[in-house]
Amino acid sequence: QIIYRALKKIQQKIETNPLSVLRQAIHGVTPDIAVKARCVGRSTHQVPIEIGSTQGKALAIRWLLGASQKRPG
């Protein structure tokens, strides 16, 4: 629902394909690495690990939706 409204607004404001704008936004936000908690001895450390493209895109979409819900309007 949020994405459909955003696509309509993009199409109204600029006369380009809104899907390409959405793809570009997702590509710009997609992370390559993430941190995971690893137990080393008795303490827990945040260790960076590489994530796949599917998981990265899922994170990017989740971040974009969360940011759009925080915005007024």
Name the DSSP class of 42: T
The domains of the chain, with CATH numbers, are 22-73 (1.10.455.10)
**Residue 27, amino acid:** H
Does pLDDT of 73 surpass 70?
Answer: no
Q: What is the H or E stretch that residue 71 is in?
A: none
User: What is the pLDDT at residue 70?
Assistant: 87
pTM value? 0.76
Chain centroid to CA 52: 14
pLDDT mean over 26-45: 94
User: What is the pLDDT at residue 3?
Assistant: 80
User: What is the pLDDT at residue 68?
Assistant: 85
